[in-house]
Amino acid sequence: GAVVSQHPSRVICKSGTSVKIECRSLDFQATTMFWYRQFPKQSLMLMATSNEGSKATYEQGVEKDKFLINHASLTLSTLTVTSAHPEDSSFYICSAKTIWDEQYFGPGTRLTVT
Amino acid sequence: DAKTTQPPSMDCAEGRAANLPCNHSTISGNEYVYWYRQIHSQGPQYIIHGLKNNETNEMASLIITEDRKSSTLILPHATLRDTAVYYCIVRVGDMRFGAGTRLTVKP
C-alpha cells in the first residue's frame, strides 16, 4: 500500500509556543489530505480536510486560527498548532487520499504541551 | 451521527478465527464499507473494503449481508499481533471513525 509519513513522531513544547507537524505522501500524489486528533482512549476525530492549493475545510468546533493547515504541494500538508496549551496535547494523525479514492494514514504525531 | 454500531470489545483465542460484527442499517447505496485497525499509538491500518460483494485479501475476509445493513470482518487465524481496535466505517467521502471494537487475542 501507499506510504504516508509524519514528522516529528513526537514533540514536546512549552505553553504559548507554536508547533508544526508535517504530513507527506511518499509514493503518490494526494490532492486531498485529512487531519485527525485522538485523545487517550478515544476514537479519531476529523479536524479538517485539506485540498492542494486551496483553503482547508474545518469541522465544526475546530478553531481555524489555532490549527493552521497548509497544503502547498501534492505530497505535503502541514498542521501548525499556534499558541499551544496543555489541552492541545493529543495524538495528531494525517491521512492522504489517492486518485483511486483510497485513504492511507500516517503513523501519528504525539504532541505534549507543558 | 454514528453510522455504524460495533461491540466495544471482544476476545479471541490465538489461532482461532475472529469474527467482528458491524451494523450499518442506514447505509446508502453508494457507500462502501471499510475496515481499519489501530494498534496502540500507531496510525490506522487499512484492512479491507467492499460495496456489496464479499471480499477477501491476504489479511481478512469481509462478509456483507444481502441487504447491506451489516457486515462481518473475519480474521481467519488470529495472532497476538492482531490485538487492536478495529473500526468499521461506511463512506462515500471523508473517513469518520466510530468507537470501534477492541479485539484482544489471547494465548
pLDDT per residue as tens digits for the range B10-62: 999 999 999 999 999 999 888 999 999 999 889 999 999 999 999 999 999 99
Q: Which three cell numbers stand for residue A82?
A: 499556534
Residue A112 confidence (pLDDT): 97
Residue B3 confidence (pLDDT): 87
pLDDT per residue as tens digits for the range A12-25: 999 999 999 999 99
**Residue carrying the nine cell digits 473475519:** B74
- A51 vs B: CB within 8 A: no
> In sequence order, what are the beta bridge partners of B74?
B19, B61
pLDDT per residue as tens digits for the range B71-99: 999 999 999 999 999 999 998 778 899 99
- Residues from chain B that touch A46, judged by Cβ atoms under 8 A, are 94-97
Q: Which three cell numbers stand for residue A23?
A: 504530513
Record: contact B87-A108, CB cut-off 8 A = no
Mean residue pLDDT of chain A comes to 94
Residue A72 confidence (pLDDT): 82
Hey, of A50, A62, A98, A105, which one would you mutate to test binding to chain B, going by the most B CBs within 10 A of its CB?
A105
Segment (H or E) for A88: none
**How far apart are the CA of B66 and the nearest CA of chain A, in angstroms?**
24
- A108 vs B: CB within 8 A: yes
Are the CB atoms for B47 and B39 separated by under 8 Å?
no
pLDDT per residue as tens digits for the range B97-106: 999 999 999 9
- A109 vs B: CB within 8 A: no
